[in-house]
Amino acid sequence: MKVALIGATGLVGSTMLRLLEERNFPITELLPVASERSLGKMVSFKGKQFPVMLAADAIAQKPELALFSAGGGPSLELAPLFAGVGCYVIDNSSAWRMDPTKKLVVPEVNGDALHKEDLIIANPNCSTIQMVVVLKPLHEKYNIKRVVVSTYQSVTGTGQKAVDELLQQRSGEKVTSVYPHPIDFNLIPQIDVFQDNGYTKEEMKMVLETCKIMGDDNIKVTATCVRVPVMGGHSESVNIEFNNDFDLADVNNILNNAPGIIVTDNPAQKEYPMPLYATNKDEVFVGRIRRDESQANTLNCWIVADNLRKGAATNAIQIAELLLQKGWIG
């Protein structure tokens, strides 16, 4: 099976390469694609070196699958060209997420929404992915009315330049080229650009994507997204109001048995999810599970996941594994 990886030299692209190898995805030929400035570079996969190529050269080879992690512009331009040669495209940008003709997929939540003719498939926003993995099984039992989420998002979500800037600031350099303010010893309550309603684009992604993935426009979501000087994963404080009352023991049982979730919730032993321990893991971790004592039928929890893995690369590859399972590729 020929697989193209668009954005092969970026943070998410290199994570996808590692995961394809780790999960033994059945690739017979890798086609690493990047921009012209990356031509001449080599990409390592399963002990072999593959030269970076341009998208046109990869399209000419008619791959069965293309994994995109190159930003919205290239995705809008190139995804239809790959799909045009019968290739399944799994896109990690925001380009196709809210397109009503495209599926927005988290396999544990709505993998059954995919049809064979869905050649361009959108991978959701990192913060949305980890939240809906937890929301879905609870929604099925108790019916969610409203979600209030505050995020604490790693600099890795911005890319390698942001990681470098944090480390430079930590070593005493006065650089602020990536974020509008220093990120070291600071929190920045702005992720992406502000919209007319006062929310950032990242916050509105969480609002809109959650309803689309869950298949329920009645769920009300409000979000505040914050960049923190952390590497390794995104964390979220989530307040969930249900239409029906719940039992805490049942909530724990539901989450313990839900796919893709690890419950880490032992306050007596100071055990709770943290990005430090979610790094390089594919699961979504949930803890600090407790009743909101200020309001009926409402639950508080704390959700953490590696944003480069489950928040991006792992979810995309899980979608590809779903296509393989259905016999549509391979």
Within its chain, how far is the Cα of 244 from the centroid? Answer: 29
pLDDT per residue over 184-195, tens digit each? 999 999 999 999
Within its chain, how far is the Cα of 144 from the centroid? Answer: 22
Residue-level pLDDT at 10? 87
The model's pTM is 0.96
What are residue 69's phi and psi, to 5 degrees?
Answer: -150, 65
Average pLDDT, integer, range 122-137: 98
Closest CA to 311 of 205, 181, 215, 194: 205
Task: Express as a percent the part of the chain with pLDDT over 90.
Answer: 96
What count of other Cβ atoms lies within 10 Å of the Cβ of residue 199?
18
* pLDDT for 40 beyond 90: no
pLDDT per residue over 72-129, tens digit each? 999 999 999 999 999 999 999 999 999 999 999 999 999 999 999 999 999 999 999 9
* pLDDT for 36 beyond 90: no
Domains along the sequence of the chain with CATH: 2-124+312-325 (3.40.50.720), 127-307 (3.30.360.10)
pLDDT per residue over 305-323, tens digit each? 999 999 999 999 999 999 9
pLDDT per residue over 42-54, tens digit each? 999 999 999 999 9
Average pLDDT, integer, range 228-236: 96
* pLDDT for 35 beyond 90: no
* pLDDT for 38 beyond 90: no
Distance in angstroms (rounded) separating the CA atoms of residues 243 and 174? 50
Q: First vs last Cα of the chain: how many Å apart? A: 6
Torsion over CA of 171, 172, 177 and 179, rounded to 10 degrees?
80
Residue-level pLDDT at 312? 96
Catalytic residues: 126, 234
Q: Please report which helix (H) or strand (E) contains residue 262, including its range.
A: strand 261-263
Least confident of 8-17, 143-152, 296-305, 309-318: 8-17
